[in-house]
Amino acid sequence: MTFSGKTYPSDVSDKEWALVAPYLTLLREEAGQREHGLHEVFNGLRYVLETGAP
């Protein structure tokens, strides 16, 4: 799933994402599918942590 929306300075780089993605994708194949891509969700969480959710 690719996200082509607005980017923010807090977004993770491809190199950073390659480091954390294996730990976030340990979901069994028979589990339900995600509605949003993990990369996009991770960027959102990082934005909230860095900005304090203005």
In order along its 54 residues, the chain shows pLDDT tens digits of 455 678 888 888 889 888 888 877 776 667 776 777 888 888 888 888 888 876
pLDDT of residue 52: 85
Print burial letters for 3-38: b (CB count within 10 Å at least 16), e (below 16): eeeeeeeebeeeeeeeeeeeeeeeeeeeeeeeeeee
pLDDT of residue 21: 83
pLDDT of residue 16: 87
Ramachandran category for residue 53: left, alpha or beta (phi over 0 → left; psi -120 to 50 → alpha): left
pLDDT of residue 2: 53
What is the pTM for the complete model shown?
Answer: 0.54
pLDDT of residue 15: 92
